[in-house]
A and B are shown apart, each in its own frame.
Chain A
């Protein structure tokens, strides 16, 4: 090891600034997540629409925005677009736009797979009852697809939180941006990066725990409209020694 004097006192001294950065990270992630949830669903519905041009458009969207890294999009949107169109988005807005475009493309694929996983008979049964296409989707298809999509969507949230650190590259003072700035003034890179890493880890683990809880709740009655226990029910039987909790 090289001669390095630990200065852990820097961490509590910087707590205020770091907390402010964390708050920005949370805001950036939350807004991007909600927007991608909505936009992703819209894109997925276009992907499954009867109209061929609409399908092609949605397909292009998912392919384009999944093709490059967030790093490229953040720089492109903040510097590239603003240079050409003279729009100054601001770092926060640019971050939201980049995160939303990229993640909505991934989410669109998650939604699409989930919607397609719902048994065809479900739709038939709803139509046979006289429900229109919209009501069939809102009352029957989506509630089931949503449950299937939850784990994938939560994964996206975890990705958003982690990836949001990249937005620091355009100077946003989120948790990562703040840390980088503090490192350059305080000269305590190990201590500060460690503190930030711990903060990210705690945040992600908290999200995962909440997601697991949500999944358990939602998965209780999915499937089983046909015959036989679902894979999840089998798993629960195994875990709870033969009794399925209801």
Chain B
């Protein structure tokens, strides 16, 4: 580690941790011998308030699954996620209704405070852009229609989509869809934003705009975990980089450090392949 990176790391340690994941394991098709895939094999992760953590790695390394474990869209099989003082495991207490209800409440807390942006936007095609953004605030936060609509227009305005509020997703370009998707996540006023390859499905000329949007968000102090193949963005905007391969964290450190001077062989191989 260079001195600069060490200082950077020390500084980050002082910050209040927003999310801590410990020993995350996740398999798909569990219990089906031949088809079982062990995607995450004991991943630890810490993100401090205001920090931008960039997760890189070859496809199939478990980056997207890791994000989905943090908001329990894909609950981990083992390990725990601590978020703003709450701690949850993937085990749902099925027996006692009271515990079950507390679990559900915690789950809702995680999901309403963690925003997520997807590779394929996942906008709701049967709703206008404004309704897409307003859905969470009305149906999960309990805002009135009017409040949600105001907030929705405000967020759309912020990402430059104010004029498209009444359009349906099918009438928008990829870049516009992703802007609406970002507005939809931000309308929940999250404490943490997850970006799952947010620019991978975009035409090359549209990528820059979305990265710019993400950079602005980072500069505003938002805590972010970003899965991406955009190394330029990772180096410039990321505070720390996590390199994953085959379900484990192989290398971790200051963003510039890891990208410019990777220590691990696998990181070196991956970066030289992706940067060439």
Contacts and interface: CB of A to CB of B under 8 A. Distances in A.
Contact of B169 (A119, A140, A225): A225
Interface in A174-194: none
B171 A129 contact: no
Interface in B125-140: 125-126, 135-136, 139-140
Contacts of A147: 126
B70 to A, nearest CB: 10
A230 B73 contact: no
A221 B170 contact: yes
A130 B141 contact: yes
B139 A227 contact: no
9 contacts: A125-B116, A126-B124, A126-B135, A128-B185, A129-B112, A130-B136, A130-B141, A130-B188, A140-B124
Contacts of B168: 220-221, 224
Interface in A77-131: 119, 121-122, 124-131
Given A221-B169, A225-B169, A124 B122 contact: yes
A226 interface: yes
A66 interface: no
Which of the four size classes fits the interface of chain B?
Answer: 20 to 34
Contact of A125 (B114, B122, B141, B201): B122
A167 to B, nearest CB: 38
A221 B141 contact: no
Given A130-B111, A131-B139, A144-B125, A224 B188 contact: no
A20 interface: no
Interface in A203-242: 220-227, 229-230, 233
Contacts of B71: 128
B121 interface: yes
Nearest to A227: B174
Contacts of A144: 124-126
Contacts, number: 95
Nearest to B112: A130
A5 interface: no
Given A131-B140, A224-B170, A143 B122 contact: no
Nearest to B194: A128
Given A126-B135, A131-B135, A226-B121, 15 more contacts: A121-B118, A122-B124, A124-B73, A124-B122, A125-B123, A129-B112, A129-B139, A131-B136, A140-B135, A224-B170, A225-B169, A225-B170, A226-B201, A229-B170, A230-B170
A246 B184 contact: no
A135 interface: yes
B149 interface: no
A139 interface: yes
A53 interface: no
A221 B177 CA distance: 14
A12 interface: no
Nearest to B67: A128
Contacts of A226: 120-122, 201
Nearest to B174: A227
Interface string A129-158: 111100100011001100100000000000
Contacts of B115: 128
Contacts of B215: none
- Which of B108, B122, B141, B185 counts the most A-chain CB atoms under 10 A from its CB? B122
Given A124-B73, A223-B170, A224-B168, A129 B125 contact: no
Nearest to B113: A130
Contacts of A233: 170
A232 B205 CA distance: 28
Contacts of A126: 124, 135
B195 to A, nearest CB: 12
Contacts of B121: 225-226
A132 B184 CA distance: 17
A128 B120 contact: no
Contact of A225 (B73, B122, B188): B122
Contacts of B68: 124
A225 B140 contact: no
Contacts of A132: 104, 108
Contacts of B184: 129
